[in-house]
Structure 1
Amino acid sequence: MSSVRCRPGLLLVALTRQLPRGIWWFRAFVLGALNIGVFFALLFVAAYRLPGGVAATVGALQPLLVAVLSAGLLAERLKLRTTLAAIAGVAGVSLLVLRADARLDGWGVLAALGGAVVMATGVVLSKRWKSPAPLLATTGWQLVAGGLLLLPVALIIEGALPASLTAANLAGYAYLTIVGSAVAYALWFRGLRALSPTDVTFLGLLSPVVATLLGWLALDQRLTGAQLVGGLIVLGALVAAQLKRTKPVDTSTRVLEPV
């Protein structure tokens, strides 16, 4: 996993030919740790120790965390509609993927919650710290920093890469490196530059919806009534969070032009 994140970062840095300057050495390391290194380490701990539904439900707290952090770090107003939509999103995801017989593991829950907090902090700081460099360069810095942070952990736990790789292995590795890392993170950070962090993280609630639909379409998995209701709640929360209130037009001071 560390090489999957680090090598596309090195590729982007080589393409853009830009290194961080001044304080951005520190900021690139912090953002790379939050958005990639520490986040993925906690994500995999949660995935190993928890059922997928429990991990997804805890991870669905991220929009609420981002909204709260944005109020403190970006001076964005914490709207009641956003808060209610975030709570509804968690409820919808739980109906969609959580099972009644799901087991809870204390360390797994802490890892999932820590991952949500770490990623939420990284998302908000990515908006607060506006990089002077092009998008691809900033993305590359973070991928390199996150990959280097994961490298010693991966070597200790998983060991070195196998000496021989098949064509299928190389194809999968290339897909994860180029599409799953370089392209995906560039688009993610592009969205953060253009939109509010809260609006962007609400889109993450679509992941369990898409996974459930793919299970139904590709694996012939049965959808329950609770899952359908949960999916509708998630979509409703997403739409409610994205809606912008338009200001009423003040016609009291409008000057009538002569005909």
Structure 2
Amino acid sequence: MLSNRTSLVLSTAIAPMVWGTTYLSTTTFLPPGHPLLIATVRALPAGLLLLLVARRLPTGSWWWRSWVLGALNFAVFFGCLFIAADRLPGGVAAVVGGIQPLIVAALGWWVLSERLTIGTVLAGAAGVIGVALIVAPGGAALDPVGVAAALGGAVSMAVGTVLTKRWGSGQPPIAMTAWQLVAGGILLAVLTAVFEPPPHAMPTAPELGAYAYLTLIGTAAAYLLWFRGVHALPTRLPAFLGLLSPIVAVLLGLLVAGETLSILQTVGLVTVLVSVTAAVARRRPSDSHVPPVGLEPTLKR
């Protein structure tokens, strides 16, 4: 029987693996030139759906905290994510965020007083090196705006992850995820209306299917698992598990898009996997007492 910690790690790992498929879904099925619209359609319906399940509104300081976290984890992150996907090859857009575990580890030490060990720094550095090996030999033209958006998204999500950990104690995962998605979705809707022209045609059936996948699987389900893990695990673990996203994105590029890997890129993939394994396998006394976190909503009428 799996331990509670192992079950949490495995369920949390599902989220970045699912996110690794969103790059191919976006670039293959959705129209280019509408990154903010795609982000809005992904976030807001998912948040409203989870809010119907949770049936709980924010109280007290969570009214403003939801807007802060919604901006960091969804409005800024999704906006940057889809701008990067619109301007960069899917694999490149996914792997540029490989610096995120180091940012989370540093912020966890500064904000949450978590230990920042040499092993964590070395594992994070290995992840960055692996990412660099994957990206550098690809020969793709790296659009500066796309790269900046990918890095901005990584920083935004890192800050959002740490603040979610700091503020999220005692909050049901479904409700907390719903509040952030709704707040972030509203902010994205405003940005879309101001800065992005509407599409010229109605969405096709494949586009509607891609939107549904991104909303239900890539957002509602994946972020519920993600925030559950962020709440219960040391912040370094979800951050390193996030490196599974570029692994999945690159493998999908090989299997579906017909992309190829050089020897250096293969070494990079292996390096990233070793980095994730080392971070997850490294246990500390505080990791042994992971509280159980259920997915059941807390009902409030």
Q: CA deviation at 1:244?
A: 2.6
Instruction: Choose which of 63, 68, 75 in structure 1 pairs with 2:113.
Output: 75
- Aligned residue in 2 for 1:122: 160
Matched, 1:8 2:46: yes
Contact kept? 1:53, 1:94, Cα under 8 Å: no
- Aligned residue in 2 for 1:85: 123
- Aligned residue in 1 for 2:250: 212
- 1:21-78, Cα deviation, whole Å (9 max, x unpaired): 0100011111111000011222233344455565444311000000000001110111
Distance (Å, rounded) in 2 between the aligned partners of 1:217 and 1:50: 19
- Aligned residue in 2 for 1:150: 188
Instruction: Choose which of 18, 40, 48 in structure 1 pairs with 2:56.
Output: 18
Matched, 1:179 2:217: yes
Q: CA deviation at 1:137?
A: 1.0
- 1:114-159, Cα deviation, whole Å (9 max, x unpaired): 2221110000011000253321111110100111011022123444
Distance (Å, rounded) in 2 between the aligned partners of 1:161 and 1:7: 19
Which one is further off, 206-215 or 232-241?
206-215
In the superposition, relative to structure 1, how do residues 52 and 13 fare at CA in structure 2: closer, same or farther (>3 Å)? closer
In the superposition, relative to structure 1, how do residues 217 and 57 fare at CA in structure 2: closer, same or farther (>3 Å)? closer
- Aligned residue in 2 for 1:112: 150
- 1:185-212, Cα deviation, whole Å (9 max, x unpaired): 1111111122112111111212222222
- 1:66-110, Cα deviation, whole Å (9 max, x unpaired): 000000111011110110111111111221233364545544443
TM-score by length of 1: 0.85
In the superposition, relative to structure 1, how do residues 104 and 95 fare at CA in structure 2: closer, same or farther (>3 Å)? same
- Aligned residue in 1 for 2:22: none
Matched, 1:58 2:70: no
In the superposition, relative to structure 1, how do residues 175 and 112 fare at CA in structure 2: closer, same or farther (>3 Å)? closer
Distance (Å, rounded) in 1 between the aligned partners of 2:257 and 2:94: 20
- Aligned residue in 2 for 1:28: 66
Q: What SS is found at the alignment partner of 2:272?
A: helix
Distance (Å, rounded) in 1 between the aligned partners of 2:102 and 2:121: 6
Matches within 5 A, 1:185-204: 185-204=223-242
Q: What SS is found at the alignment partner of 1:61?
A: helix
Q: CA deviation at 1:171?
A: 2.9
Distance (Å, rounded) in 1 between the aligned partners of 2:278 and 2:265: 20
Amino acid at match of 2:220: A
4+ residue segments displaced more than 6 Å = none
RMSD in angstroms over aligned alpha carbons?
A: 2.4
In the superposition, relative to structure 1, how do residues 53 and 163 fare at CA in structure 2: closer, same or farther (>3 Å)? closer
**Larger gyration radius, structure 1 or structure 2:** 1
Which one is further off, 204-213 or 103-112?
103-112
- 1:197-232, Cα deviation, whole Å (9 max, x unpaired): 211111121222222222333344333211221111
In the superposition, relative to structure 1, how do residues 244 and 46 fare at CA in structure 2: closer, same or farther (>3 Å)? same
Distance (Å, rounded) in 1 between the aligned partners of 2:195 and 2:240: 33
Contact kept? 2:43, 2:215, Cα under 8 Å: yes
Q: Structure 1 regions of 5+ residues with no counterpart?
A: 248-259
Q: CA deviation at 1:20?
A: 0.2
In the superposition, relative to structure 1, how do residues 170 and 116 fare at CA in structure 2: closer, same or farther (>3 Å)? closer
Distance (Å, rounded) in 1 between the aligned partners of 2:216 and 2:93: 26
Q: CA deviation at 1:180?
A: 1.6
Distance (Å, rounded) in 1 between the aligned partners of 2:266 and 2:144: 29
Matched, 1:244 2:279: no
Q: What SS is found at the alignment partner of 1:21?
A: coil
TM-score by length of 2: 0.74
- Aligned residue in 2 for 1:138: 176
Contact kept? 1:5, 1:181, Cα under 8 Å: yes
